[in-house]
């Protein structure tokens, strides 16, 4: 059986501060600390090698039961992390206060118990932690019912029951928004944009839901930011960034005005900023696009944005947007000389922590930069990493357009022997994955005609016909979405007019 690598991955995920805290707290423990020896040995490995660990400690007794030692160390590290972040998380603080409340109540120290209840209640309301509020209110009711707050006895419990009911209503409201959010998010993560009446109907259904269409339906700030985010996503799914702008601004403004909530919803803030980047990019407003890219980058390491999970977002999103900004402004040199080396270094650094979806997007945009710069062999290298992926659910849109671009790359490289087979393979893929929209169908039809031509003089005529039919298809608002993935008319125009890209030296 292959040795478990969970402990290795946990240790490698620790920051310098987390490691230092773990080691310092370990020095306070008495007795032999085999787990520290094991920790340091694993920490020094670049790739987990259990045989090397066994060889290193072959004279130690603990190595005979290595699996249990690894499990013990794993749990100690998690405990250390819980302690390290106790003061940084509203959840951790509230859990600690609830434990204090229970202990003080059991010792009949009711005044001190009430102080902790009031403190916990204030934090829970600030952070909109309604699940915790239900527990806090329950303790408050117990104290009143036991006669320990006689001044509140007559109306106290009645008011608390109303407060409890309000908490439940707010939780239900948040849950309903989460469901709507997941529905629109699922469409976008699978297809990118709505490209047929069925997908458009799903977007319409979400947009017309009473919680989205009516005013004042959000009963908390968390619900309000969810509502604005959903409205924006519905417009974006229909490729209408201009209409999404107003709602993205509301998400950003609401979170920036309520730091407690932004700390609870850092990804919602990040996604709103990222969508704002594309709202400006799609208007060809490079200046404001770069402004929001810098704003996104500036969050790196800020309180509430310093977890590894958030760091992954702050790595991939700005780089993807910046690569596209370089394509829109023809600044390929900056992308190739500066951005791409930084991205490759980041992909190597984060490794398996990055999702397949994230890596697909980065590779796609890297390939696009190289293609538009005329570096076709490098474009092919990164494009192949996309089309050879095993991803079968998320971002089928990216894989589809990578396969379309793959045909263009082989054409530019003169790999005509490969093209006939590759066209057939691509056609099978789009049919199997129900991606055979008008644009894909027209593109595959014409590229097949191109490779069968024998007379050079016919190329210009055929590419002119190719360009004209694609431009006609792109008038359809479902098909116009194709332009978000690549500037296909620009390439066809260059072929129709016998223009070629310049290579960058």
433-450: pLDDT as tens digits: 777 688 889 999 989 888
H/E element holding 489? Answer: helix 488-496
- How far apart are the C-alpha atoms of 374 and 372, rounded to whole Å? 5
pLDDT over 60 at 504, yes or no: no
3-state SS, one letter per residue, for 180-193: HHHHHHHHHHHHCC
Kindly state whether residues 291 and 385 are assigned to the same domain.
Answer: no
Among 152-161, 185-194, 298-307, 404-413, the range with the most confident prediction by mean pLDDT is: 404-413
- Using pLDDT thresholds of 50, 70 and 90, give the confidence band for residue 102: very high
Q: Which residues contact 141 (CB under 8 A, 6 or more apart)?
A: 156, 157, 160, 161
* Averaged pLDDT of the chain: 88
Kindly state whether residues 382 and 482 are assigned to the same domain.
Answer: yes
In this structure, what token pair is assigned to residue 303?
Answer: 């309180």
Residue 388 located in a structural domain: yes
Q: Which of 296, 327, 345 is the last residue of a domain?
A: 345
Residue 461 located in a structural domain: yes
- Using pLDDT thresholds of 50, 70 and 90, give the confidence band for residue 200: confident
In this structure, what token pair is assigned to residue 282?
Answer: 């799609």
Q: Express each pLDDT in 263-276 by its tens digit.
A: 889 999 999 999 99
Whether 397 contacts 187, CB under 8 Å:
no
Kindly state whether residues 336 and 310 are assigned to the same domain.
Answer: yes
Residue 155 located in a structural domain: no
- How far apart are the C-alpha atoms of 439 and 480, rounded to whole Å? 9
In this structure, what token pair is assigned to residue 440?
Answer: 């894909």
Domains of the chain: total = 3
- How far apart are the C-alpha atoms of 14 and 412, rounded to whole Å? 46
Q: What's the whole-number mean pLDDT along residues 150-159?
A: 67
pLDDT over 70 at 394, yes or no: no
Q: What's the whole-number mean pLDDT along residues 98-121?
A: 93
pTM for this prediction: 0.80
Q: What's the whole-number mean pLDDT along residues 402-415?
A: 92
Q: Which of 84, 100, 121 is the last residue of a domain?
A: 84
Q: What's the whole-number mean pLDDT along residues 159-183?
A: 94
Kindly state whether residues 320 and 363 are assigned to the same domain.
Answer: no
Residue with tokens 């106790």: 86
In this structure, what token pair is assigned to residue 365?
Answer: 């945009």
Report helix, strand and coil shares of the chain as percent, to nearest 5.
75, 0, 25
Neighbouring C-beta atoms of residue 2, cutoff 10 Å? 5
Task: Of 294, 315, 403, 306, give the one whose Cα is nearest residue 358.
Answer: 315
Kindly state whether residues 323 and 424 are assigned to the same domain.
Answer: no
Residue 450 located in a structural domain: yes
Q: Give residue 375's domain range.
A: 355-505
Residue 436 confidence (pLDDT): 66
Kindly state whether residues 426 and 371 are assigned to the same domain.
Answer: yes
Q: Which of 317, 345, 373 is the last residue of a domain?
A: 345
- How far apart are the C-alpha atoms of 197 and 204, rounded to whole Å? 10
Whether 106 contacts 116, CB under 8 Å:
no
Q: What is the dihedral sign for C-alpha 343, 348, 351, 357?
A: positive
């Amino acid at each position: 059986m292959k040795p478990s690598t969970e402990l290795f991955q946990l240790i490698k995920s620790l920051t310098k501060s987390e490691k230092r805290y773990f080691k310092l707290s370990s020095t306070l423990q008495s007795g032999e600390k085999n787990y520290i020896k094991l920790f340091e040995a694993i920490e020094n490995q670049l790739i987990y090698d259990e045989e090397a660990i066994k060889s290193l400690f072959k004279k130690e007794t603990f190595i005979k039961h290595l699996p249990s030692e690894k499990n013990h160390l794993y749990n100690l590290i998690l405990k250390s992390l819980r302690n390290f972040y106790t003061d940084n998380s509203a959840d951790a603080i509230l859990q600690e206060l609830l434990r204090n409340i229970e202990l003080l109540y059991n010792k009949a120290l009711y005044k001190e118990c009430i102080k902790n209840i009031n403190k916990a209640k204030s934090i829970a309301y600030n952070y909109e932690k309604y699940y915790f509020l239900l527990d806090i209110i329950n303790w408050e009711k117990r104290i009143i019912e036991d006669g320990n707050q006689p001044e509140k006895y007559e109306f106290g419990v009645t008011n608390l029951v109303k407060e409890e009911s309000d908490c439940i209503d707010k939780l239900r409201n948040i849950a309903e928004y989460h469901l709507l959010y997941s529905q629109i998010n699922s469409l976008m993560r699978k297809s990118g944009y709505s490209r047929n009446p069925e997908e458009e109907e799903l977007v319409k259904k979400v947009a017309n839901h009473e919680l989205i269409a009516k005013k004042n339906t959000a009963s908390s700030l968390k619900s309000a930011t969810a509502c604005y985010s959903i409205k924006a996503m519905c417009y974006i799914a229909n490729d209408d960034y201009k209409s999404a702008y107003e709602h993205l601004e509301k998400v950003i403004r609401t979170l920036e005005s309520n730091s407690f909530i932004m700390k609870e919803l850092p990804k919602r803030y990040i996604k709103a900023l990222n969508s704002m980047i594309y709202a400006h990019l799609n208007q060809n407003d490079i200046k404001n696009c770069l402004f929001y890219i810098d704003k996104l980058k500036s969050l790196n390491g800020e309180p509430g944005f310093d977890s590894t999970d958030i760091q992954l977002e702050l790595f991939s999103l700005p780089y993807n947007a910046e690569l596209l900004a370089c394509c829109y402004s023809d600044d390929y040199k900056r992308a190739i000389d500066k951005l791409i080396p930084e991205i490759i270094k980041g992909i190597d650094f984060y490794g398996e922590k990055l999702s397949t979806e994230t890596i697909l997007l980065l590779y796609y945009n890297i390939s696009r930069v190289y293609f538009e710069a005329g570096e076709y062999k490098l474009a092919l290298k990164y494009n192949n990493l996309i089309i050879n992926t095993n991803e079968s659910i998320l971002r089928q849109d990216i894989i589809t357009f990578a396969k379309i671009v793959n045909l263009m790359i082989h054409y530019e490289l003169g790999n005509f022997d490969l093209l006939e087979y590759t066209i057939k393979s691509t056609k099978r893929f789009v049919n199997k994955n129900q991606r055979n929209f008008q644009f894909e169908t027209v593109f595959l039809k014409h590229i097949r005609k191109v490779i069968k031509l024998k007379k050079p003089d016919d190329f210009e005529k055929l590419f002119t016909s190719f360009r004209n039919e694609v431009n006609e298809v792109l008038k359809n608002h479902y098909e116009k979405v194709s332009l978000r993935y690549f500037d296909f008319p620009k390439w066809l125009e260059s072929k129709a007019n016998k223009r070629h890209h310049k290579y960058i030296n």
